Structure 1
Amino acid sequence: ADPLKLALGEAKEAVTQVKSGQETVELSPQSAYIRRLQHLIAERNNLASHSLGKDPNRRVRIYK
């Protein structure tokens, strides 16, 4: 499967979980480019997000 599609799917799933009441969801480590897109998905859904960790384990956390 396409790693980009999987990573964006993971972000969309996290958005659903946070909207359903989960406090924070941490995504799998990704490249800077993919993290940027994951932040955009959170933003479009009016959720907050930030990156944490050091490369190559840097990842996005999505929350309200």
Structure 2
Amino acid sequence: MSNNTDVRLKYHNSGKVKSTKPFKPWRIVHTEEFENKQTAREREKYLKSAAGRRWRKNNVKKGD
């Protein structure tokens, strides 16, 4: 969740985030916009659940 995905991506790719550092470089493959933080957080929580992972697998293309 971020107000500025470009800055967030650069931060993760800088290696300063311990949990994402081993998997860099990261790239953005999907974004969504929401009216408020609560709705965005609920969606993020869903996307990290088993049902959300299934949704991502079927609806978000990773590309090459």
Q: Which has the higher strand share?
A: 1
TM (norm. structure 1) is 0.28
Answer 1 or 2: higher relative contact order, Cα 8 Å, separation at least 6.
Answer: 1
Q: Which has the higher helix share?
A: 2
TM (norm. structure 2) is 0.28
| Larger of the two Rg values belongs to structure | 2
